[in-house]
Amino acid sequence: MRREYDIDLLIGKFKEKDKIALARLISIIENHPEKASDIFKNFNHIKHDSYIIGITGSPGVGKSTLTGAIAKRLLKEGKSIGVISVDPTSPFSGGAFLGDRVRMTEVSLDPNIFIRSLASRGYRGGISRAVLDITLLYEAFGMDFIIIETVGVGQSEFEIYNLAYTIIVVMVPGYGDAIQMQKAGIIEIGDIYDVNKKDLGGADIAAHIDMMLDDSTFQGGWRPPVAMTNSITGEGIDELIEYLYGHKEHLELSELLRERKRNRFAYKVRELLYYKIDNVLESLISPDEIKEISKTAIDNKFQIYDLVHDLFSNVKFERKKDD
Ligand SMILES: Nc1nc2c(ncn2[C@@H]2O[C@H](COP(=O)(O)OP(=O)(O)OP(=O)(O)O)[C@@H](O)[C@H]2O)c(=O)[nH]1
Ligand SMILES: [Mg+2]
């Protein structure tokens, strides 16, 4: 078949480190999740591990600019980098691409970096599936580092801490007080905190976070450091990179990196299972049955839970012998 031939051709070029082939394969996986297994089976023998960094924070705090600054440093060390920017403001993929490209212009021209922006909605199988699959493609491509940029904590459609090994939470001067941060769940998820836009102040917020961290206990023995950066001029980036390597080493020396890798795949496995169960459910309960109980529910709306319970109780689940 012509299409399969196309994929083989792309895989061949991909293995020769052709970035256009990488871009094409990402598009195929985004738009045709059912082809993912066909594509990934070509990489079974690849053992390469990329180190995955998550950068998160409210809109406009400078995540993309910071990603560019971090990438610039890592590129200088001869590392290769794959970036995934999840942009919630863009209504469609591609729209985000230009904006982030502008913010990362300097580094985007380097042959050792590949930048992909995604809108946070509108992907078959969901944004987290798309992001995870792109990280797998980056790993197969041989990227040393992967940086995932995403807005927000706790409210985003996918939770970055399931996918990344080191999480950098970015804040800015005037963000608010420590209580707000605690409420937002921010103080729990960071491995490193960064107060960006230090040219606008921010010593007070950095001190606040430090104080709160002093009062916290840490599983695994890592006390998150607090950095201050100006990601436009690059001030403070060296220190941030030091913290990054420090955390990476901490994870590598303990069992924690394995645990984070396990988390990443547990997340993926659960996702794939949900997807399959969804399909099974469709085959077990017909749209007519759903229509039927919906009709009943119009007159007996307070019984909706019982109706669904009864419908579900009547479903026969059988595990196939050869599964
Ligand atoms: N003064 C100052 N401005 C900065 C700094 N870093 C980024 N900016 C500016 O802040 C604005 C937002 O930067 P982005 O990098 O797009 O922020 P973002 O967090 O990626 O934004 P979204 O992806 O839209 O959430 C831009 O105008 C940047 O130039 C900094 O250290 N100091
Ligand atoms: Mg951005």
Ligand 1 neighbour 62 (Cβ under 6 A): yes
**What's residue 95's pLDDT?**
40
Within 8 A by CB and 6+ apart from 3, the residues are none
Summarised one tens digit per residue, pLDDT across range 22-61 is: 999 999 998 888 899 999 999 998 888 999 999 998 888 9
- Ligand 1 atom nearest residue 89's Cα: 24
- Ligand 1 atom nearest residue 196's Cα: 31
Average pLDDT, the chain: 85
Ligand 1 neighbour 65 (Cβ under 6 A): yes
- Ligand 1 atom nearest residue 61's Cα: 19
Alpha-carbon torsion angle 2, 136, 150, 159, nearest 10: 110
Beta-carbon count within 10 A of 294 CB:
11
- Ligand 1 atom nearest residue 68's Cα: 15
Residue % of the chain over a pLDDT of 70: 84
**What's residue 322's pLDDT?**
58
CA of 66 to the centre of ligand 1 (A): 8
CA distance 236 to 244: 13
Q: Which CATH architecture has domain 46-255?
A: 3-Layer(aba) Sandwich (3.40)
Summarised one tens digit per residue, pLDDT across range 212-247 is: 888 877 777 899 999 999 999 999 999 999 999 999
Among 137-151, 185-199, 220-234, 250-264, which is the least confidently predicted range?
A: 185-199
Ligand 1 neighbour 162 (Cβ under 6 A): no
Summarised one tens digit per residue, pLDDT across range 160-184 is: 888 999 999 999 988 665 666 666 6
- Give residue limits of the domains in the chain: 46-255
Burial class from Cβ neighbours inside 10 Å (0-12, 13-18, 19+) for residue 159 reads: middle
Banded pLDDT at 94 (limits 50, 70, 90): very low
Ligand 1 neighbour 72 (Cβ under 6 A): no
- CA-nearest residue for atom 5, ligand 1, is 197
User: 169 near 87, Cβ under 8 Å?
Assistant: no
Question: Is the pLDDT confidence value at 91 over 50?
Answer: no
**What's residue 117's pLDDT?**
87
| Ligand in nearest proximity to the CA of 63 | 1
3-state secondary structure the chain: CHHHHHHHHHHHHHHCCCHHHHHHHHHHHHHCHHHHHHHHHHHCCCCCCCEEEEEEECCCCCHHHHHHHHHHHHHHCCCCEEEEEEECCCCCCCHHHHHHHHHCHHHHCCCCEEEEEEECCCCCCCHHHHHHHHHHHHHHHCCCEEEEEEECCCCCCCCHHHCCCEEEEEECCCCCCHHHHHHCCHHHHCCEEEECCHHHCCHHHHHHHHHHHHCCCCHHHCCCCEEECECCCCECHHHHHHHHHHHHHHHHHCCHHHHHHHHHHHHHHHHHHHHHHHHHHHHHCCHHHHHHHHHHHHHCHHHHHHHHHHHHHCCCCCCCCCC
Over residues 68-95, mean pLDDT: 80
| Ligand in nearest proximity to the CA of 236 | 1
**What's residue 316's pLDDT?**
79
Ligand 1 neighbour 264 (Cβ under 6 A): no
Q: Which two tokens stand for residue 64?
A: 């993309």
- CA-nearest residue for atom 30, ligand 1, is 197
Q: Largest Cα–Cα distance of the chain, in whole Å?
A: 68
**Half-sphere exposure of residue 237, counting CA atoms within 13 Å on the CB side?**
17
**What's residue 92's pLDDT?**
39
Ligand 1 neighbour 230 (Cβ under 6 A): yes
Question: Is the pLDDT confidence value at 1 over 70?
Answer: no
